[in-house]
Amino acid sequence: MSALFKPSANFIARFSLVAVASVLGGGLLGLWGYFRTPYAQGLQEEIVQPVLFDHRHHVVDDLIDCRYCHFNVERGASAGVPSTEMCLNCHSQIWNKSPKLEPVRRSYFTGAPIEWNRVHQLPDFTYFNHSIHVGKGIGCATCHGRVDEMAAITKVASLQMSWCLACHRNPAPNLRPKDQITSMTWQPPADPAAAQLLASDLMKSYDVNSRVSCTTCHR
């Protein structure tokens, strides 16, 4: 009685298994690589808002501090976004008839809040608190970039786990004096020794420690 399968069938079966495993593995690796690209993370893409708010004008020309609009950044998990009333603190008198402010006027007369679009959307299982970072000497520009140079806000940091952990493992280089938290132009001393000394002093002054346990961000 002849064999049901030819000897070459063993080779074909092994080759097929290796091919399937390679395709699946390559596909998963490709997806992993794709989601780590700036394109997939939406970096450097302008976030369109319902109101054409130019940070360059408000920060550089008008010298408005970040904490005026993001009023909760030193007190809570969320930084806060400007309400209609906050915008009208200035714009009821300044440029109050500008077509660009029509969404603000409509919000005021209808009572419907301005629906700002989020720039960063962290997963629900990730806990982030603005106030603790600000209180420990992390400046706005560290995560949000030079917003004073942005006509429309763009994401400059992925806020992926690896990005956050890099800072949590070695926070010293990212610390700054608290009176420079909202500064867009502050830089550590150019002299490496002076920069290291300042970072060490800030670590001690703010009681900053490396925090990499899972429960730090996942609660």
Q: Which of 37-41, 98-102, 111-115 has the lowest mean pLDDT?
A: 37-41
* Contact call for residues 159 and 168 (beta carbons, < 8 A): no
C-alpha dist (Å) from residue 62 to 53, 57, 72, 81, 90: 13, 6, 21, 18, 11
Question: Average pLDDT of 85-102?
Answer: 93
Q: What is the pLDDT of residue 2?
A: 58
Domain boundaries of the chain, sorted by first residue:
11-40, 42-81+116-217
Name the pLDDT band for 136 (thresholds 50, 70, 90).
Answer: very high
Report the mean per-residue pLDDT for the chain.
90
Q: Which of 40-44, 51-55, 62-66, 129-133 has the lowest mean pLDDT?
A: 40-44
Nearest Cα neighbor of 178 from 155, 201, 195, 194 is 201
Name the pLDDT band for 23 (thresholds 50, 70, 90).
Answer: confident
**% helix / strand / coil in the chain, to the nearest 5?**
50, 5, 45
* Contact call for residues 181 and 137 (beta carbons, < 8 A): yes
Q: What is the pLDDT of residue 32?
A: 66
Hey, what are 40's tokens?
A: 């997939």
b/e sequence 188-211, b meaning 16+ C-beta within 10 Å? beeeeeeeeebbeebbeebebeee
Name the pLDDT band for 13 (thresholds 50, 70, 90).
Answer: confident
pTM for the model: 0.80
Q: What is the pLDDT of residue 11?
A: 72
Name the pLDDT band for 110 (thresholds 50, 70, 90).
Answer: very high
Hey, what are 117's tokens?
A: 């679009």
Q: What does the pLDDT look like over 56-90, one tens digit per residue? A: 999 999 999 999 999 999 999 999 999 999 999 99
Residue 142, pLDDT above cutoff 90: yes
Question: Average pLDDT of 147-171?
Answer: 94
Q: What does the pLDDT look like over 183-215, one tens digit per residue? A: 999 999 999 999 999 999 999 999 999 999 999
